[in-house]
Structure 1
Amino acid sequence: MILVTGATGLVGSHLVLQLLEQGQKVKALFRNEANKENVRKVFEYYQKSDLYDRIFWISGDILDIPSLEDAFQGVDYVYHCAAYISFEPKEEEKLRKTNIEGTANIVNCCIDFGVKKLCYVSSIATLGDLKEHETIITEETEWNPEIRHSDYAISKYGAEMEVWRGDQEGLEVVVVNPGVILGPLFWNTGSGEIYDRVQKGLWFYTEGGTGFVSVDDVVRAMIALMNSDSKGQRFTLVAETLTYKTLIELLAHKLKVKMPRFSAQPWMTSVAWCMDYFLGLFGKKRMLSRDMAHTLHHVEYFDTSKVKQTLGIEFQPIANYIESK
């Protein structure tokens, strides 16, 4: 039996679908009935509605240990996809509690219930910080605690520490560090919000960039790693590095909307995050942090040779993926 946390999110729902397609028995952890509808829509999107009824739904929360004890009964493998994503400074405590404490609970349950292997979905945000002579981020790039990181990145880094603790205590683990994950339907949460923003229209773009990957490739790699002999290792999952301008162009073409005409300069995003901070004092939800304003003008490149050599897989080009969806 396989347990998937965060089963109602982008990665979790696609993971549950692929596991069921392979004939696996899957327990899906969920917090409220409404979120289960997200999964149903994913199954309908791929015309796999017949598989939906095969899901063993388990009501629970990664912060509620008694509910986890029920969920872990008879489980051999765990995919920990549940996480809280926010770049709102006011939500630092919730980020740390959900991502770090929640992951600690999952790791402890894995150990207590004799789970054979755990796959944890982390982020490229935890991969580390380049030194002056370095140009490409790898799994071995060191995290520099002296450099400013977002609260989200810090919480995911702390969560990884809990997973590595489990590794030291004898639990077999693999960690995946996906780039910005692109996929259908989830336009109101996480990385999916970029679809919504492009659909509504953008005035500006920036020349920065980062690593992107499709949800299909993330899930495919996760399953392959769990079925492999790999353990105690992390793997970068990035199809390619794209500038934000290029990504917006691809999405605008697919969604048949206008491409933003103006390039935002660094001073403009600095002013924007300051205004965003000021409005946040009066209750407006923060949309842009200082860290985000900085990264919007820098391009990050990632080495994905490790996962390709380990699994012998190739990632689908982002342009092809967007056009196909």
Structure 2
Amino acid sequence: MILVTGATGILGRVIVLELLKRGKKVRATKRESSNIDEVLESYRFYTDQADHFFSQIEWINVDFQDLESLENALLGVTDVYHCAAHVSFHPNDRRAMYHTNIEGTRRLLNACESSTVQKFCFVSSTAVLDGVDEKGEVTEDSNYNPKLDHSPYARSKHFSEMEVWRASAEGLNTVIINPGVIIGSGNWQSSSGEIFGAFSKYPYAMSGSTAYVDVRDVAQISISLMEKNIFGERYIVISETKKILKVANFVRKKLGKSEAKVLSKSILNIGYILNILLGWLIPGLRMLSKVNLETVTSNPVISNNKIRQELDYQFIPVFESLDFHLKNYILDHHKL
């Protein structure tokens, strides 16, 4: 039996589907309030046997703060894909991210100690990587630098990784993946699923670049690493780094919108000053933090050489991925 946490999320649902396609038995965690019908609808974008595969999922409500709940979820489980996380770059969500991402991961790993679990795949983020190599590229050796300023999300993922490395040192077979922005279908109102709606709504974009990856690639790579028993390593999982403006305009053109314009640094600096002065009064301004603005105006070069060489893997190009999932978005939002 394989356990996938965060199975209603943009990535977890696809890992579940890919495992089912391979004939695996899958138990999928969700919250009591989760809408699993939406997961079924999104499966229609990925397979013509959506109902067949969906009916094979063993859904289980899990409270990550309750050890007994976690122990029940792990009964008979040998492999765990830990996708559950709170993703946000708003400072107001700091406590929720620490609670879910760090404490939730720690409790899950503690529950694994007295279970039948043998393998553990942890989904982290490129947000935890700092520094570049001699080529000026971010690699798996670009270790988190605690002296630098980080978003609460990046900090929560770093400390979650520390829990995974601790479990690895204690004997659990673990592997960590660090994906960029995941492009997928469904879950349109949450996490990276919001990108199409955001690019459609706002006629402007930031001047920086972001690393993107198709959800199908992330799922395939995660499963391949576990099946090949590749442990004690981390892997950056991205397809390509693209200018945010180019991605925004690709999406906006497909949606019949005007071209987006780049927000100048002077405007962003004004926003940063307003955040300092009025962020306490207007919560939305707190998104204009120094670290967030640096993220969306920087142009990092992130290497995927390690995973490509390890698995001889070819990624779906970013604009091909965007085209596929944007068509699905349009089908689900036919009123656009």
Q: Which TM-score bucket, shorter chain as reference?
A: over 0.9
Give the match for residue 216 of structure 1.
216
TM-superposed CA distance for 1:270, in Å, is: 2.2
Contact 1:77–1:118 (8 Å) recurs in 2: yes
Q: Which residue of 1 aligns with 2:28?
A: 28
The residue aligned with 1:105 is 107
Match for 2:18: what amino acid? Q
Does the 8 Å CA contact 2:128/2:143 hold for their aligned counterparts? no
Deviation at 1:282, TM superposition (A): 3.2
Q: What SS class does the counterpart of residue 175 from structure 2 fall into?
A: strand
**How many residue pairs were aligned?**
322
CA contact (8 A) 1:81 1:120 kept: yes
Q: 1:195 to 1:229 in 2, by over 3 A?
A: same
Q: Which runs of 4+ in 1 moved over 6 A?
A: none
Higher mean alpha-carbon deviation, 283-292 vs 67-76, is at 283-292
One-letter identity of the residue aligned with 2:31: R
Q: Distance in 2 between matches of 1:243 and 1:200?
A: 18
1:282 aligns with 2:284: no
The worse-fitting range, judged by mean Cα deviation, of 70-79 and 299-308 is 299-308
Q: 2 CA distance for matches of 1:222 and 1:186? A: 20
CA 54–280 in structure 1, closer or farther in 2 if over 3 Å, else same: farther
Instruction: Answer yes or no: is the 8 Å Cα contact 1:14–1:42 preserved in 2.
Output: no
| Distance in 2 between residues matched to 1:161 and 1:295, nearest whole Å | 23
Aligned-partner Cα distance in 2 for 1:189–1:64: 25
Q: Secondary structure at the match of 2:11?
A: helix
State the one-letter code of the partner of 2:161. E
- The Cα of 1:277 is off from its aligned counterpart by 5.9
Q: Give the distance between the partners of 1:166 and 1:191, measured in 2 at CA.
A: 28
AA of the residue aligned to 1:60: V
- Indicate which of 71, 74, 77 corresponds to 1:75: 77
Deviations 1:94-133 (A, max 9, x none): 21111111111111122220311000000001122337x6
TM-score (ref. length: structure 2):
0.91
Residue 80 of structure 2 aligns to which amino acid in structure 1?
V
Stretches of structure 2 lacking an aligned partner (at least 5 in a row) = 326-336
Give the Cα–Cα distance (whole angstroms) in 1 for the partners of residues 278 and 192 of structure 2: 23
Question: Which residue does the alignment assign to 1:17?
Answer: 17
151-160 or 122-131, which deviates more: 122-131
Q: Indicate how the Cα distance of structure 1 residues 41 and 173 shifts in structure 2: closer, same or farther if over 3 A, else same.
A: same
User: What per-residue deviation string (whole Å, max 9, x for no partner) do you get for residues 65-92 of structure 1?
Assistant: 1111110000010000000112222222
Q: Counterpart of 2:192?
A: 191
Identify which range, 173-182 or 188-197, moves more after superposition: 188-197
SS at match of 1:83: coil
Question: Contact conserved, 2:4 with 2:28, CA < 8 A, in 1?
Answer: yes
Determine if the alignment matches structure 1 residue 92 to structure 2 residue 91.
Answer: no
1:159 aligns with 2:157: no
Match of 2:61 among 33, 52, 59: 59
1:272 aligns with 2:274: no
Q: Is the 8 Å Cα contact of residues 181 and 191 (structure 1) preserved in structure 2? A: yes
CA RMSD of aligned residues (A): 1.7
Q: Which amino acid aligns with 1:104?
A: R
Q: What is the alpha-carbon distance in structure 1 between the residues aligned to residue 105 and residue 251 of structure 2? A: 33
Q: Answer whether contact 1:9 1:38 (CA < 8 A) is retained.
A: no
CA separation in 1, counterparts of 2:55 and 2:278? 46
C-alpha distance in structure 1 between counterparts of 2:272 and 2:41, whole Å = 35
- Could you tell me how far apart the structure 1 residues matched to 2:276 and 2:66 are? 33
Identity rate, percent:
36
**Aligned mates of 2:202, 2:155 — CA distance in 1:** 31
Q: Would you say the 8 A contact 2:70–2:111 is kept in 1? A: yes
Amino acid at match of 1:78: V
> How far 1:206 sits from its partner (Å)?
2.4
Q: CA deviation at 1:278?
A: 5.4
**Contact 1:87-1:289 within 8 A present in 2 as well:** no
Taking structure 1 as the reference length, what is the TM-score of the superposition?
A: 0.94
Is 1:187–1:193's contact at 8 Å kept on the other side of the alignment? yes
Taking the aligned partners of 1:295 and 1:158, their CA distance within structure 2 comes to 20
CA distance in 2, matches of 1:85, 1:21: 28
Deviation at 1:64, TM superposition (A): 2.0
Measure the CA separation in 1 of the matches of 2:227 and 2:146: 34
Where does structure 1 lack aligned partners over 5 or more consecutive residues? none
How far residue 254 of structure 1 moved from its aligned partner, in angstroms, is 2.8
